[in-house]
Structure 1
Amino acid sequence: MKMFSRFLTSCLLVASVVVHAADDQAAAQLRKQLDAMNTLQGDFVQTTYDKKGAEQETSSGNFMLMRPGKFYWKTLEPMQQLLVSNNKTIWLYDPDLETVNERAFTDDLRETPALLLSSDIEQLRKSFTVTRDEKDTSAEKYTLTPKVTDGMFQHLTLVFKANQLTEFAIQDSLGQLTRCVLTNVQRNKTLPEEKFFFQPPEGVEILKD
């Protein structure tokens, strides 16, 4: 349950978010990058830092994502966990605890950092302002700030290299930073639909919110 809450409030998934602003060059550049990304898969290393910059924990695994709202995020180390969404239901499976936490993919969850990266672009057009770090010539780095300031996070940063999303990070409202580095990334490959629907193993406890 702790992992589930952390995911919803600090972001584990990757796919596409965009800000619409016809007169904003940075937003237009970001939109071009993300509009071209319908599916994404690869490996991740996720590290969480406290507000002073001290490393708190690191996890790694692999992921698949299909826009809108479908994702498969499998943590392998240090403990196995699986988070799955089919855009209607979200499942968190913990093999060690033999539990599955299940809840509906509702409108309030669409606003969490965890789901911004896999949500429908059309739903996110008016939610953010966007800036680009023009000083960094080795990558395209965009920072998105929610227009509603009482949300769960302060900033979302997306980093592209050679037109590929390689990193994203979220700073939450308490100053904690969660950074996800992506490797072996493949974009717009055909993904198996069954990966985005979870069938609980026999004998596990199902907890519904």
Structure 2
Amino acid sequence: MAKLLAIVVVTLPVLAQASALDQFKSFVATTKTAKGEFTQRQVKMDEANKGAAKLSNASSGTFMFARPGKFIWTYQKPYEQLLQADGEKLYIYDKDLNQVTVKKLGNALGSSPAAILFGSNELEKNFTLKEAGTKDGLEWLQATPKAKDTNFDQIGIGLKDGVPHAMELRDSFGQVSLLTFSKFEKNPQMPAEQFKFVVPKGADVFQQ
């Protein structure tokens, strides 16, 4: 399943010097809705170059969310794919295959990046959170899922000026995905019906 995930915001200057954990808790508490753009890359080890890290070509798209559990995450390049949640179910639509996969939202989110960014404010119920130092001009927060049956072993969140600018996702297979965010708009008006999924004409639907 495509990696879900995250955000950039402009907030109070006083948060700029705060710890990553304080910045993130403030972001979650004050951001009820948001929209913006993302870029996602996979990190691969280049064995021909003595194991040096190598970034894959970027995927990019847009996102919007309304807490708790409503979001639209759209991959636009290099292929089109839609992940949409209406608060109860998650719909994954592959345009090329004209295929929709439907999952119960609670099971699909769990201790995932989406639960951090789009879920409720109960972060410490599902994650162990701790400071992870400064890197690339960002204060980093490490989130480790408490559940043992999740897709991710560790999630890093890079913050600056009180908002997430990047995420680093390490899965159970040792793969790493990097997400960066831009053009973030905080708390725009979003009607509830905007998150209602409409099955595209002729699409095959699979329930999981």
Q: In which range does the TM-score fall when normalised by the shorter chain?
A: 0.7 to 0.9
Letter in 1 for 2:36: G
Equivalent runs, 1:42-191 vs 2, <5 Å: 42-50=36-44, 53-106=53-106, 108-116=107-115, 117-122=117-122, 124-136=123-135, 138-149=137-148, 151-191=150-190
Separation in 2, partners of 1:111, 1:14: 16
Task: Kindly state the Cα deviation for residue 136 of structure 1 after the two structures are TM-superposed.
Answer: 4.9
Question: Matched residue pairs, number?
Answer: 190
User: What RMSD over aligned residues (CA atoms) do the two structures have, in Å?
Assistant: 2.3
Q: Looking at secondary structure, tell me which structure has more strand per residue.
A: 2
Asked if structure 2 preserves the Cα contact closer than 8 Å seen for 1:100 and 1:205, the reply is yes
Secondary structure, aligned partner of 1:156: strand
Letter in 2 for 1:55: L
Structure with the larger RCO, 1 or 2 (CA within 8 Å, 6+ apart): 2
TM-score (norm: length of structure 1):
0.80
Task: Kindly state the Cα deviation for residue 139 of structure 1 after the two structures are TM-superposed.
Answer: 2.8
Task: Kindly state the Cα deviation for residue 57 of structure 1 after the two structures are TM-superposed.
Answer: 4.5
Asked if structure 2 preserves the Cα contact closer than 8 Å seen for 1:14 and 1:40, the reply is no
Which of 30, 34, 56 is the equivalent residue of 1:36? 30
> Which segments of 5 or more consecutive residues in structure 2 lack a partner in the other structure?
8-18, 46-50
Task: Kindly state the Cα deviation for residue 135 of structure 1 after the two structures are TM-superposed.
Answer: 4.1
CA offset digits 1:108-148 (Å, max 9, x no partner): 323242432211122x3222222224445933321112234
CA offset digits 1:179-206 (Å, max 9, x no partner): 1110101111212323311101222211
Separation in 2, partners of 1:162, 1:119: 22
> Which segments of 5 or more consecutive residues in structure 1 lack a partner in the other structure?
16-24
TM-score (norm: length of structure 2):
0.80
